[in-house]
Amino acid sequence: MTGVFLFAAVAGWTTLAAQIDSDVYDFLFRLQRPTLGRPSSVIYGIDERTLTQSGGLRNIRGILADGVERLAACKPKALLVDIVLADPTDAANAGRLAAALSTIPYVVLATDLTPRHGWEQPLGILPRRALGHVHADPDPYDNVVRQVPLEKISGRERHWALSLEALRAMQPAVTIEEDPKAITIGGTRLPGKREDGRPMLIRFGAMPEVTLADLADNPANCAPFTGKAVFLGLTAQSAAQDRHPTPISFGESMVGVAIHANAYETLAQRAFLRPVGNLESILFALALALAASAIFYFYSGWPAYTLAAGLLAVTHVIPWYAFQAGIIFPYTAPLLAAWLGIAAAATFQYFSTRRALHKAEADRSRYQEAIHFVAHEMRSPLTAIQGSSELMGRYKLPEEKRAQMAQMINAESKRLARMIQTFLDVERLGEGEMQLKRETFELTALVQVCLDRARPLADRKRIPIELASMENTTLTGDRELMEYALYNLLTNAVKYSPPETTVTIRAAKQGHSVHLSVRDQGVGIEPSDLKKIFQKFYRTRSAEKGPEMGTGIGLSIVEQIVTHHGGRIEVESSPGAGSCFTMVLPAQDRVPAGGPMR
Ligand code: ADP
Largest CA distance in the chain: 153
Instruction: Judge whether 510 and 586 are in contact, CB under 8 Å.
Output: no
pLDDT over 90 percentage in the chain = 55
596 confidence band (pLDDT: 50, 70, 90): very low
Instruction: Judge whether 531 and 573 are in contact, CB under 8 Å.
Output: no
Pocket of ligand 1 (CB under 6 A): 488, 492-493, 496, 520, 522-523, 525, 533, 538-540, 543, 550-556, 579
518 confidence band (pLDDT: 50, 70, 90): very high
Task: Report the DSSP beta bridge partners of residue 184.
Answer: 177, 189
* Closest residue by CA, ligand 1 atom 20: 492
Amino acid at 474: T
pLDDT at 428 over 90: no
pLDDT of 223 reads: 95
Among 426, 465, 491, 539, say which to mutate for ligand 1: greatest number of ligand atoms within 8 Å of CB.
539
Instruction: Give pLDDT tens digits for 372-401.
Output: 767 777 787 888 888 888 988 898 889 998
pLDDT of 542 reads: 85
Distances (CA, A) of 572 to 321, 495, 496, 559: 76, 17, 15, 15
Instruction: Give pLDDT tens digits for 10-40.
Output: 766 788 888 899 999 999 988 877 677 899 9
Interhelix angle 332-394/399-430, rounded to 10 degrees, is 180
* Closest residue by CA, ligand 1 atom 7: 554
pTM of this structure: 0.62
Q: How far away, in angstroms, is 474 Cα from ligand 1 center?
A: 28
Q: How far away, in angstroms, is 539 Cα from ligand 1 center?
A: 6
pLDDT of 594 reads: 38
Span 225-240, average pLDDT: 92
Amino acid at 13: W
Residues contacting residue 364 through CB under 8 Å, at least 6 positions apart: none
Q: How far away, in angstroms, is 75 Cα from ligand 1 center?
A: 113
Top-confidence range, 113-117, 550-554, 592-596: 113-117
Residues contacting residue 426 through CB under 8 Å, at least 6 positions apart: 481, 484, 557, 560, 561
Q: How far away, in angstroms, is 509 Cα from ligand 1 center?
A: 26
Distances (CA, A) of 243 to 131, 249, 257, 260: 21, 11, 9, 12
Collapse the DSSP code of 544 into the 3-class scheme (helix H, G, I; strand E, B; otherwise coil) and give the result. helix
Label residue 250 left, alpha or beta by phi (over 0 means left) and psi (-120 to 50 means alpha): left
| 572 against 544, higher pLDDT | 572
Please tell me the least confidently modeled range out of 121-130, 291-300, 370-379, 537-546: 370-379
Instruction: Give pLDDT tens digits for 452-464.
Output: 989 988 999 999 9
pLDDT at 140 over 90: no
Span 56-69, average pLDDT: 94
User: Closest ligand 1 atom, CA of 534?
Assistant: 6
Note the residue count of the chain.
Answer: 598
pLDDT of 170 reads: 97
* Closest residue by CA, ligand 1 atom 2: 550
- Give the C-alpha separation, 214 to 183, whole Å: 39
User: Closest ligand 1 atom, CA of 543?
Assistant: 16
2 confidence band (pLDDT: 50, 70, 90): low
Span 259-277, average pLDDT: 94
User: Closest ligand 1 atom, CA of 556?
Assistant: 6
Q: How far away, in angstroms, is 138 Cα from ligand 1 center?
A: 84
pLDDT at 158 over 60: yes
Span 179-196, average pLDDT: 90
Strands 41-46 and 209-211: parallel
What is the CA angle 229-232-238, rounded to 5? 150
